[in-house]
A and B are shown apart, each in its own frame.
Chain A
Amino acid sequence: GDSVTQMEGPVTLSEEAFLTINCTYTATGYPSLFWYVQYPGEGLQLLLKATKADDKGSNKGFEATYRKETTSFHLEKGSVQVSDSAVYFCALTDGSGGSYIPTFGRGTSLIVHP
């Protein structure tokens, strides 16, 4: 079945540091890829998405590029802020076989210190 693997956390950074959270996937078909963010005590919010190869999703300074050849969708931000501290989930939805089953990674906790 489909799977999403993302780096284990927590990732601890100082404010203004560069962020990369790695995400790789396996899928039967041609999936859409997503990054979600979950702040403490809240539900998930869509951060960005990409629906085809080489698409770049971007939002709030975060970006990720759909790399079909390496089956990856790494999340990056040039300069993190304390307010970016949250859990980040990489996810895919694959429509192969007529079923659409969202698959999520285990989440990566990001802690940003002032």
Chain B
Amino acid sequence: KAGVTQTPRYLIKTRGQQVTLSCSPISGHRSVSWYQQTPGQGLQFLFEYFSETQRNKGNFPGRFSGRQFSNSRSEMNVSTLELGDSALYLCASSLETLMGDTQYFGPGTRLTVL
């Protein structure tokens, strides 16, 4: 079974721009979560989508948004980029839930904001 895939793997943007990251979950997985990983803040939960609806949300500003399509693929958008948004963005998928089901992580998208 193919793992979680994320595209692109690397991105360089400038302040004020916006960016869209894509995640394809493992086939059959309906829950997709997004995380931001930085040296300063560690790994932080952004949000989770299930059946095309945002089901759980972390403590990030509204510049961070996402969506999920009917095939469970998900996109994450960051608008008005700031230098502090430079990070590794990880996507994870699971069968149904965040509690009992195992999350499978993708390799991440490395975003650099200049």
Q: Which A residues form the contact surface with B (CB < 8 A)?
A: 32, 36, 41-46, 49, 51, 89, 91, 93, 95, 99-107
CB distance from A106 to the nearest CB of B (A): 4
What is the CA–CA distance of A51 and B108 in the complex, to the nearest angstrom?
Answer: 27
Q: Which B residues form the contact surface with A (CB < 8 A)?
A: 4, 33, 35, 42-45, 48, 55-58, 90, 92, 97-100, 102-108
Residue of chain B at shortest CB distance from A49: B102
The CB with the most chain A CB atoms within 10 A, among B44, B99, B100, B108, is that of B99
CB distance from B51 to the nearest CB of A (A): 15
CB distance from B105 to the nearest CB of A (A): 4
Task: Please state if B100 and A107 are interface contacts (CB–CB under 8 Å).
Answer: no
Q: Chain B contact residues: over half helix, strand or loop, or mixed?
A: strand
Residue of chain B at shortest CB distance from A51: B100
From known contacts A93-B98, A95-B99, infer whether A43 and B42 are also in contact, taking CB-CB under 8 Å. Answer: no
From known contacts A42-B107, A43-B90, infer whether A101 and B102 are also in contact, taking CB-CB under 8 Å. Answer: no
What is the CA–CA distance of A101 and B90 in the complex, to the nearest angstrom?
Answer: 15
What is the CA–CA distance of A93 and B45 in the complex, to the nearest angstrom?
Answer: 11
